Structure 1
Amino acid sequence: MLNTSRRKLFITSFLIPTFIFFCVFTLYPIVQGMRISLFDWSGSSEFMTFVGLQNFLDIFQDQIIWTAIQNDYFLVLGKVVGIMILATFFAVAITRFNLRGSNFFRIIFFIPNIISIVVIGVLWRFIYNPNIGFLNSLLSIFSNQQVRTPWLGQAETAIWSILWPSIWAGVGFYFLLLIAAILSIPTSLYEAAEIDGATQGKQFWSITIPLIWEQMKVSILHIVMTTLNGSFVMVWIMTEGGPDNSTQVMGSYLYQMGFRQFHMGYASAIGVLILALTLITTMVLQRILRRDDIEMS
Structure 2
Amino acid sequence: MAQAVMAGRRALPAAVTPHLRNRRRLFWPFTLPAIALYVVFLVGPAVATVVLGFTRWSGAGPVTFVGLEQYGRLLGSESFRDAFVNTLGYIVVGGAGTFVFAFLFTMVLRGMRASKTVRAILFFPNIVAPVALGMFFGFVFKYNPGRQGLANFLLESLGLPAAGFLRPENVTWVVIGALVWSSAGFYITIMMAAVDRIPPYLYEDAELCGASPWQQFRAVTLPLTWDVVGIAGVLWTIGAVKIFEMVFVLAGPGTYLPPSRTWTLAIYVYDRSFGAQGTPEYGTACACAVVMIVLVTVLVTALRRVMRRERLEY
TM-score over 0.5 (shorter chain): yes
Following superposition, the deviation at residue 11 of structure 1 comes to 4.7
Q: 1:10 to 1:197 in 2, by over 3 A?
A: farther
Following superposition, the deviation at residue 113 of structure 1 comes to 1.3
Following superposition, the deviation at residue 121 of structure 1 comes to 1.0
Partner of 1:37: 53
Partner of 2:4: none
Q: Does 1:265 align with 2:279?
A: no
Following superposition, the deviation at residue 285 of structure 1 comes to 0.9
Deviations 1:111-156 (A, max 9, x none): 1111111101111111111022111111112225xx332211241x
Q: 1:88 to 1:10 in 2, by over 3 A?
A: farther
Q: Hey, what's the Cα distance between the residues in 1 that align with 2:180 and 2:205?
A: 36
In the alignment, which of 104, 109, 114 is matched to residue 94 of structure 1? 109
- In the alignment, residue 105 of structure 1 is paired with which amino acid? V
Greater C-alpha radius of gyration: 2
Residues 155 and 162 in structure 2, CA contact (< 8 A), matched pair in contact too: no
Q: Does 1:253 align with 2:268?
A: yes
Deviations 1:163-201 (A, max 9, x none): 111111111111111111111100111122233343333
Q: Does 1:280 align with 2:295?
A: no
Residues 134 and 249 in structure 2, CA contact (< 8 A), matched pair in contact too: yes
The percentage of aligned residue pairs carrying the same residue is 27
Structure 2 spans left out of the alignment, 5+ residues? 1-15
Q: Hey, what's the Cα distance between the residues in 2 that align with 1:290 and 1:11?
A: 35
Q: When you count helix as a share of all residues, which structure comes out higher?
A: 1
In the alignment, which of 243, 246, 249 is matched to residue 234 of structure 1? 246
Residues 102 and 191 in structure 2, CA contact (< 8 A), matched pair in contact too: yes
Secondary structure of 1:291's aligned partner: coil
Residues 171 and 250 in structure 2, CA contact (< 8 A), matched pair in contact too: no
Partner of 1:107: 120
Q: Hey, what's the Cα distance between the residues in 1 that align with 2:54 and 2:150?
A: 48
Residues 221 and 282 in structure 1, CA contact (< 8 A), matched pair in contact too: yes
Q: Hey, what's the Cα distance between the residues in 1 that align with 2:72 and 2:91?
A: 26
Partner of 1:290: 308
Q: Hey, what's the Cα distance between the residues in 2 that align with 1:152 and 1:11?
A: 55
- In the alignment, residue 44 of structure 2 is paired with which amino acid? Y
Q: Hey, what's the Cα distance between the residues in 2 that align with 1:70 and 1:226?
A: 16
Q: Hey, what's the Cα distance between the residues in 1 that align with 2:185 and 2:208?
A: 34
Q: Hey, what's the Cα distance between the residues in 2 that align with 1:143 and 1:166?
A: 29
CA RMSD of aligned residues (A): 1.8
Residues 247 and 263 in structure 2, CA contact (< 8 A), matched pair in contact too: yes
In the alignment, which of 158, 173, 184 is matched to residue 160 of structure 1? 173
Residues 107 and 213 in structure 2, CA contact (< 8 A), matched pair in contact too: no
Q: Does 1:64 align with 2:88?
A: no
Q: 1:150 to 1:40 in 2, by over 3 A?
A: same
Partner of 1:26: 42
Size of the aligned set, in residue pairs, is 288
Structure 1 spans left out of the alignment, 5+ residues? none
Residues 79 and 223 in structure 1, CA contact (< 8 A), matched pair in contact too: no
Q: Does 1:80 align with 2:98?
A: no
Q: Does 1:195 align with 2:213?
A: no
Q: 1:4 to 1:46 in 2, by over 3 A?
A: same
For residues 139-218 of structure 1, what are the structure 2 equivalents within 5 Å? 139-144=155-160, 147-155=161-169, 157-218=170-231
- In the alignment, residue 51 of structure 1 is paired with which amino acid? V
Following superposition, the deviation at residue 224 of structure 1 comes to 0.6
